């Protein structure tokens, strides 16, 4: 009997961490599936490939429609959604709004000035500047770390 205690104790030491890690992994998978099944239209999400999007339609069981830009909707598998993005608080938004307002005060050159410059140098750089003035820059998205 004494000869069996040491091998049984050794097997217990090896098997216990395996069992505990398997339980933890099952729990995390269940939480992930619960989050994916509870998504509704308007939720901000991040996919496994790092794409930030807004849920446009979540009526199908296996797929989900994500709006990646205004008017651009793509269809993804629900399993591709990694996490739901929690919106920032009002105080954090107030801090970022003041810095964004400073960036937006840049004025564009009138179109009449750019056509005059374009005719002077003839290389089309004024067209590039004019197109750049109309471009919009998206604000950064903060997401919670696990």
| Per-residue pLDDT in tens (0 to 9) along the chain, 146 residues | 678 888 888 899 999 999 999 999 999 999 999 999 999 999 999 999 999 999 999 998 899 999 999 999 999 999 999 999 987 766 665 555 555 555 444 444 444 444 444 444 455 545 545 555 566 666 666 666 54
* 79 and 22 in a common domain: yes
* 30 and 80 in a common domain: yes
Task: For residue 24, give the CATH number of its domain.
Answer: 2.30.30
Beta-carbon contacts of 108 under 8 Å, excluding residues fewer than 6 positions away, are 130, 133, 134
State the pTM of this model.
Answer: 0.51
Calculated CA dihedral for residues 66, 63, 29, 67, nearest 10 degrees? 0
Tokens of 100: 């964004």
* 98 and 27 in a common domain: no
Task: Residue 119: give the domain boundaries.
Answer: 90-134
């Amino acid at each position: 009997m004494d000869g069996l205690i040491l091998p049984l104790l050794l097997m217990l030491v090896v098997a216990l961490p395996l069992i505990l890690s398997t339980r933890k992994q099952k729990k995390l998978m269940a939480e992930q599936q619960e989050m994916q099944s509870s998504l509704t239209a308007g939720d901000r999400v991040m996919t496994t490939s790092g794409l930030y999007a807004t849920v446009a339609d979540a009526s199908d069981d296996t797929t989900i429609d994500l709006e990646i830009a205004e008017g651009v909707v793509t269809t993804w598998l629900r399993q591709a959604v990694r996490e739901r993005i929690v919106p920032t608080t009002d105080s954090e938004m107030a801090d970022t709004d003041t810095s964004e307002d400073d960036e937006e005060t840049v004025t564009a050159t009138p179109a009449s000035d750019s056509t005059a410059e374009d005719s002077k140098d003839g290389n089309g750089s004024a067209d590039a500047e004019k197109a750049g003035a109309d471009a919009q820059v998206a604000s950064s998205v903060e997401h919670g770390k696990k």
